[in-house]
Structure 1
């Protein structure tokens, strides 16, 4: 209750993680105190064990306050981002450069007050020992900060992957498309049995490949194109002559591993926001090509084109509250999946087509067919 009241201003989801980090710091402070006490004892210096405990816990706690807790109230000044409020490298270096020495100094003052002497006198008596004590404290503190940073970074990446997977599940079976397809199928059964059978076959293949691909993060590019072929064939039956599509996959790239469903949101986006609103419909081209060690995947349409607003919104982080009916949803979804899978090795370029429409080019590392597939 005391901890909760003292840190009520902290984000609710960060109070327990912060307390856990403090308990870890305190757990390590005990062996540090024992080591310090034994070191003084072996050198014949008068030093009580309780004094070592006070120094160790005071210094550790103050450094924790100035390097961990301080990130939250000063996150704006530190330009800290994310749920763990870790600042960029420059601000983090400044925070550590000030926080660790300040925490060490205040913790030492508390220890001095308890012991009844001044640690700073050691500078006059034995400068090498004084420098060694300070250096060891700074090194231990920096190691703690590095450990907590890597741990938070790992948890953050895990959360991003989980969120991407949840959003991926939303995009795999788009209810809007399924409902319209089933309604169209019902109408075709009594009017055009052959087209109804063809539509049902494509729907069956589409659902089967969707469920299969959902179990693996990467799959061969040929599977991605096969799924797009089923999807576009379904849409072509629905839209009739208003939709023309072309898929171009060189045989040499068929086995190349790519993230599952990486092209699906782009094609859905092109139809929903580019072609369907046009009375005349339009054309979609999906192409794969290799350039050196890079794989280029292009989705081009001659629809209405993308607005400046959608382009700007596509660069923003995707959240569960983001409306998936907007034109930017599919673009942002793909951008974040590329970043999660490849980091800076992949990218997405969006440009308007001069004759009308939109062109989206994905750049991925060209990896061997056995890479995690």
Structure 2
């Protein structure tokens, strides 16, 4: 905007107002305010200096905007600022000499000097104005340079946030079909053997899908909501495994309201069933535990079985968990899956505790 925004004019008036007061203070220090005639002349000169400075710097700003200097490289901006500041100083020196002489605002000593050497007066005035304008230009340049850097930083943060959001949504779209595929396979296995149980299993699956759709609306959910989905899932799987699947819960009360990424713990339970219990002839145990240890939410899924190489190396489910944790918590979360005993695999998930 050529005219300038409100804060620009506030800063201009403040800056040149301080310049006016500084002039008055300087005159008072040298005892030039004691004589009424000199006092009036000093105030007029100070006001004239301030108004001229304001008009010249505003004109300089207009030229800078017209030439789109602020969109150029920083090094180019500096050279253009210096050149325009020097030119503006020369113009201000000429204007001051002409206007002040025509209005009679020069003292007698200055009139004598002017009559002797106009060039000397011009150079003296221009040099003085250059010292003022170079400060104005430096402040103007630094202000816009810092503002541009801050805008760029904010844009980069927004871009990174947007990318993370897209990545999380992409991972989630893989999680749900992955879970549905495994669940439907389990139901298919029961259709011929026990249709009644298959119908019940379909009802359980619909409950899980309904909960899953609602949960996906947020990045985190209370642990208790995640546990509800897991209980529905395990109820579905227990119909398939019957007595071969033993389920245990060890959940501390203070953990139930802690936020967790939706469907993450469920995926670990699903992983325990798929890679652990389903490969054991006599079935086995799936145990869920939740506690707070060292200011971290400690979630564990233990299952009977042997740790498969693809689990440890990272199948899709494991890799998606690691990627989600990295995107959401950075280095503040921990995940590992290990063979905790000769016939027990433990998946450990540690998340920051929310107070």
- With normalisation by structure 1, the TM-score equals 0.59
In 2: Cα distance, 1:166 partner to 1:30 partner: 47
Post-superposition shift, 1:288? 0.5
CA contact (8 A) 1:298 1:359 kept: yes
1:46-66: CA deviations, max 9, x gaps?
959776444344531124xxx
**Cα displacement (A) at 1:147:** 1.9
The DSSP-based 3-state class of the residue aligned with 1:188 is coil
- Paired with 2:320 and 2:338, the residues of 1 have a C-alpha distance of 17
Higher share of residues assigned helix: 2
Deviation at 1:242, TM superposition (A): 5.5
For the 8 Å contact 1:244–1:284, the answer to whether it is kept is yes
- Give the equivalent residue in structure 1 for 2:69: 59
Q: Does structure 1 retain, via aligned residues, the 8 Å contact 2:322–2:335?
A: yes
Structure 1 pair 129/225, CA: closer, same or farther in 2 (3 Å)? same
Is the CA contact 1:37–1:47 (under 8 Å) kept in the aligned structure 2? no
Specify which of 158, 161, 181 is matched with residue 162 of structure 2: 158
Structure 2 residue aligned with 1:187, among 175, 179, 192?
192
- For residue 150 of structure 2, the aligned residue among 146, 151, 157 is 146
Mapped partners of 1:300, 1:59: distance in 2:
65
Deviation at 1:296, TM superposition (A): 1.0
Change beyond 3 A, Cα 1:46–1:214: closer
Aligned with residue 333 of structure 2, among 346, 353, 367: 346
Q: Is the 8 A contact 1:54 1:114 kept in 2?
A: no
Range with bigger deviation, 215-224 or 144-153? 215-224
8 A contact 2:250–2:290 mirrored in 1 = yes
Greater RCO, CA 8 A, separation 6+: 1
**Count of aligned pairs between the two proteins:** 283
Partner of 1:266 in structure 2?
Answer: 268
Residues 55/287 of structure 1: CA separation in 2 closer, same or farther (3 Å cut):
same
- Post-superposition Cα deviations, 1:168-217, rounded to whole Å, max 9, x if no partner, equal 24323533224313312322335xx4x44553453343233323323444
Contact 1:305 1:353 in 2 (8 A): no
Per-residue CA shift, 1:276-320, capped at 9, x if unaligned? 45666654322101225332111233434254x8667xxxxxxxx
RMSD: 4.2
Aligned in 2, Cα 1:298/1:128: closer, same or farther, shift over 3 Å? farther
Larger Rg: 2
Contact 2:12 2:54 in 1 (8 A): no
Q: 1:172 aligns with which of 170, 176, 183?
A: 176
Match of 1:367? 354
Tell me the secondary structure at the aligned position of residue 140 of structure 1. Answer: helix
2:208 pairs, out of 206, 209, 214, with 206
Q: Which runs of 5+ in 2 are unaligned?
A: 17-48, 91-122
| Residues 125, 356 of structure 1: alpha-carbon distance in 2 compared, 3 angstrom cutoff | farther
Change (3 A) 1:275 1:181: closer
- Cα deviation, residue 143, structure 1: 1.7
Could you tell me which of 311, 322, 327 is aligned with 1:335? 322
Q: Which runs of 4+ in 1 moved over 6 A?
A: 34-41, 112-117, 121-125
- Look up the match of 1:12: none
SS at match of 2:72: helix
- Residues 351 and 358, structure 1, Cα contact 8 Å, conserved in 2: yes
Tell me the equivalent position of 2:290. Answer: 288
State whether residues 305 and 343 of structure 2, in contact with CA within 8 Å, keep that contact through their aligned partners in structure 1. Answer: yes
SS in 2 for 1:334: helix
Kindly tell me: are residues 341 and 48 of structure 1, through their superposed partners in 2, closer, same or farther at Cα, counting changes over 3 Å? closer
